């Protein structure tokens, strides 16, 4: 079972500020997903990242969002200019070879 | 576009009861279906994965079935316990094995 660590666990930011959320796999994985969950709502797909490239992205993942693998191990989700509606839990996930998806504990983002 | 629904939205049962949670999806061309548990403010924990060629999977008191042609899956929980209280989510993966679409979840309360 792959382990995924996310930081920070909670971040509070002012509207318009940039936020970077990080995801660290314990073992080597090439495929990563970012999801978000607004309080009380569905888990929504943002973007999938395979072998250092975006594989697929949703309509939510607009120009304010970007993903990177800056140092070969960490995966980051950047929101350039946060809006109030970006307040949510952001989850990183990675699949096993059998297609089973494993999630990190999430990063709670609060935009004031 | 794949859509996933779950019934009921919430369920409250006394301890010891057997219960069934339902998941429906609109596009039967799926790669697999996965059931998750989510505790409040936490990440998603994988419970069971059913590949598209399988009919059911079992883990302890949990049994998940899949009827791909009718677009349905059920999660059966036997002898429910207060510790089972959580939100249960199903997610279907598309036929390319890349995009997971989540249902809104069923919030389960098991009363002692």
pLDDT tens digits, one per residue of A19-42: 999 998 766 677 889 999 999 899
With an 8 Å Cβ cutoff, are B93 and A45 in contact? no
**For chain A, which residues lie within 8 Å of any Cβ of chain B, measuring from their own Cβ?**
33, 35, 41-45, 48, 55-56, 89, 91, 93, 95, 98-106, 108
The pLDDT value given to residue B97: 66
Q: How far apart are the first and last CA of chain A?
A: 36
Residue A99 banded pLDDT, cuts 50, 70, 90: confident
Best residue in B2, B32, B44, B51 to probe A by mutation, most A CBs within 10 Å?
A: B44
The pLDDT value given to residue B64: 97
Identity of the residue in B43, B46, B98 whose CB atom sits nearest the CB atom of A56: B98
Q: For each of chain B's 112 residues, which pLDDT tens digit applies?
A: 899 999 999 999 999 999 999 999 999 999 999 999 999 988 999 999 999 999 999 999 999 999 999 999 999 999 999 999 999 999 999 877 678 999 999 999 999 9
Strands (E) in chain A, as ranges, are: 4-7, 10-13, 19-25, 31-37, 43-50, 53-57, 65-68, 75-79, 88-95, 101-103, 107-111
The stretch A73-100 carries a mean pLDDT of 91
Whether omega for the bond prior to residue B80 falls within 30 degrees of 0, making it cis, is no
The pLDDT value given to residue A97: 79
Identity of the residue in B31, B44, B101 whose CB atom sits nearest the CB atom of A91: B44
When the pLDDT of each residue in chain A is averaged and rounded to a whole number, the result is: 90
């Amino acid at each position: 079972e792959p382990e995924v660590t996310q930081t920070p666990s909670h971040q509070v930011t002012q509207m318009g500020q940039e936020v970077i959320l990080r995801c660290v796999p314990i073992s080597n994985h090439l495929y990563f997903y970012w999801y978000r969950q607004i309080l009380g709502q569905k888990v929504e797909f943002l973007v999938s990242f395979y072998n250092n490239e975006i594989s697929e992205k949703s309509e939510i993942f607009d120009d304010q969002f970007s993903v990177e693998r800056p140092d070969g191990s960490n995966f980051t989700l950047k929101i350039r200019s946060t809006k109030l509606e970006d307040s949510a839990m952001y989850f990183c996930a990675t699949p096993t070879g059998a297609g089973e998806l494993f999630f990190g504990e999430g990063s709670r983002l609060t935009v004031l | 576009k794949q859509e996933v629904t779950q019934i009921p939205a919430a369920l409250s049962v006394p301890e010891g009861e057997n219960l069934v949670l339902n998941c429906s999806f609109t596009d039967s061309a799926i790669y697999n279906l996965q059931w998750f548990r989510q505790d409040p403010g936490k990440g998603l924990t994988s419970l069971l994965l059913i590949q598209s060629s399988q009919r059911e999977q079992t883990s302890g008191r949990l049994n998940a079935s899949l009827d791909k042609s009718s677009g349905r899956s059920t999660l059966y929980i036997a002898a429910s316990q207060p510790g089972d209280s959580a939100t249960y989510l199903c997610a279907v993966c598309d036929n390319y094995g890349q995009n997971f679409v989540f249902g809104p979840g069923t919030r389960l309360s098991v009363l002692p």
